[in-house]
Structure 1
């Protein structure tokens, strides 16, 4: 390890395996705060699956890892403080109000896509798969918009449009 806690040292052999090496990928590195999460329907309608006040954090690391979480702002607590003692209704509400996954990422600048390679997700169908996202930076790299290809969600097909703002250190 080098002097940066938790970050592997980069040796003369190059970057660690799995790191996104395409030019431009350093733009992604850091933590991002959710600004908006929209589901855009083919008829022009817009839904807010996690509410207009959804919150979330997305983190990309130098060694090519990512973690993403989005949640409803008003998630209800369980009646019990024991997370294994929730009711079926409490578990269902918790799952419907939160999405999380982690894994690695790669960037294809030519196609303006970033691929999230999912290792674990609260939605197990994504485990071991890849979630592609189209990306666009603005505001001198402090704003990142990720959009999905047409995706099933909530019984409809939509294009997810998620806007992130770079979080400042400190």
Structure 2
């Protein structure tokens, strides 16, 4: 009887852990489709008309995002530390990377993030709640809204990246 009780409790724990893992709606790799600053006003493209980027929400509750404008010109030098002022300005304006941790609510919806590091130093150590950042999943599309105080509303559309065949 005691052995049966232990087996049942173990099954419930495993089932609950699996349910929690499957409820994480944002987990996975997302590819940037479009990005706009002030979508209801100036409607300015973020990272050019054809932005490139990936956002990865790992199951271990860590995230990483790298976004860039593929239209930014190459540096004249092959040494990135020798860019001109104009080249460096274009490179900074045309790229963003950050990483940190995130959490979801009981329904698996995005609930906030902690930025550990960013190419934009003002975001280092920043905690964001859904008051300033939302990630809303609808099937294989995720709509991001970011509204940092003092800045315009940012809207980014992400599409879930297809799984790659590991055997290729």
Alignment of structure 1 residues 118-133 onto 2, 5 Å: 118-132=115-129, 133=133
Question: 2:24–2:104: 8 Å Cα contact kept in structure 1?
Answer: no
TM-score (ref. length: structure 2):
0.74
Backbone CA RMSD of aligned residues: 2.4
* SS of residue matched to 2:91: helix
Task: Please point out which of 104, 116, 122 is paired with 1:107.
Answer: 104
1:88 and 1:77 map into 2 onto residues whose CA distance is 13
List gaps (5 residues or longer) in structure 1.
Answer: 1-13, 15-20
Q: Per-residue displacement from partner, 1:22-41 (whole Å, max 9, x unpaired)? A: 78752111110001101126
1:23/1:109 contact within 8 Å kept: no
Any conservation in 2 of the 1:22–1:107 contact (CA below 8 Å)?
no
Gaps of 5+ in 2: 1-12, 14-18
Point out the structure with max Rg over C-alpha. Answer: 2
Q: TM-score, normalised by structure 1?
A: 0.73
Could you tell me which residue of structure 1 aligns to residue 160 of structure 2? Answer: 166
Q: Deviations over 1:86-122 (max 9, x none)?
A: 2222111100100110111112468x65322111100
Q: Runs of 4+ in structure 1 displaced over 4 angstroms?
A: 21-25
**Deviations for 1:6-53, whole angstroms, at most 9, x for unmatched residues?**
xxxxxxxx9xxxxxx978752111110001101126x63311132221
Matched, 1:74 2:71: yes
